[in-house]
A and B are shown apart, each in its own frame.
Chain A
Amino acid sequence: MAAPAPTGIIIVAGEQADGTTYQLHPLSRARIEARFPGTRLLRSLFVGLDTQTDYTDMHGPMWEQIVLLLTGLTLARVHELGDVVIRFPASGREVAVPLDLHLDTPAAG
């Protein structure tokens, strides 16, 4: 039996020595496809960095852009779907992504 669909958007992430790979959780992917048919979803996104320090300094501020790239949606549409979290299955860590929502953003996407 399939698992119940979670609310919001879950992004799963895998950390490796030279960067991090981000991917939509399959249930979130299905949810976006159902809600916004025709949306061009990325299969995955790799963000390469030189050092672990770069990771700490840069990835947090980049998460909002990572969400937009993976989903192909505007911030307003992402917000419609609920909260966004990034999950790191290897460590069990889960981080909420604060969305800097500008409601005047055109709702195209």
Chain B
Amino acid sequence: MSQLQTLYTGRAGQAFVMAEFAIRGYNVAVPEIDRGDDLFVVHDTSGAFWRVQVKTANAKVLAKGGFRAQFRVRLSQLQTPYTPDLTYVFATRVAGRWADCVVIPRDKLYALHSVDGVGTLAGGYVVLGLSYRAAVGQAGASLESGTTDLSPLLGDFSWWPAIAH
């Protein structure tokens, strides 16, 4: 994929995730200066605020069914706590559709990496290979990285319950 196409794919993933927060009733903004955060998500009434980093990948459809996508996150970012802390949202495009996002707070992903061995280190980055066990829109979707079941992370926007305006 060309660098230009990568840029377009990344912005499309960001827009997809922004739409998910907006439909749940949260305000969402893109920082003017790119310093690592892709989105700021705000609960307008309470002022609660979240920093979100969106990672987007095109998946490879697997012959045995399902599909696989690969992402990478900077190790030093993964290791460092801030307040408010970062949430990663992994957006996967496959066969012309978006799969359910994988939503995970930074510290939870760091624990999966350092305790459970999820992801591999390469050049200062942690590379995550995510295997989806069902096609988009099919029931019974599951998600794995190596031997770790990550299914509970699929579409898990539970930190952001829908707000009725």
Q: Which residues of A contact B (CB under 8 A)?
A: 1-3, 12-14, 16, 19, 21-23, 25-27, 29-30, 43-44, 46, 88-90
- Does B114 sit at the interface, judged by CB under 8 A? yes
Report whether B83 and A3 are in contact in the complex, using a CB–CB cutoff of 8 Å: no
Report whether B83 and A27 are in contact in the complex, using a CB–CB cutoff of 8 Å: no
Report whether A14 and B82 are in contact in the complex, using a CB–CB cutoff of 8 Å: yes
- 15 more A-B residue pairs beyond the given contacts A3-B114, A12-B81, A14-B83, with a C-beta to C-beta distance below 8 A: A1-B117, A2-B115, A3-B117, A21-B83, A23-B81, A23-B107, A25-B114, A26-B110, A26-B115, A27-B115, A30-B111, A30-B115, A44-B83, A89-B79, A90-B80
Bound: A42/B16 CA distance, A: 33
Q: Which residues of B contact A (CB under 8 A)?
A: 75-76, 79-83, 85, 107, 110-111, 114-117
- CB-CB under 8 A from B111, the residues of chain A are 26, 29-30
CB closest residue in chain A, given B109: A26
Report whether A90 and B114 are in contact in the complex, using a CB–CB cutoff of 8 Å: no
- CB-CB under 8 A from A27, the residues of chain B are 114-115
- CB-CB under 8 A from A14, the residues of chain B are 80-83
Contacts A/B (CB < 8 Å), 11 sampled: A3-B114, A13-B80, A13-B81, A14-B81, A21-B81, A23-B107, A25-B114, A26-B110, A26-B114, A44-B85, A90-B76
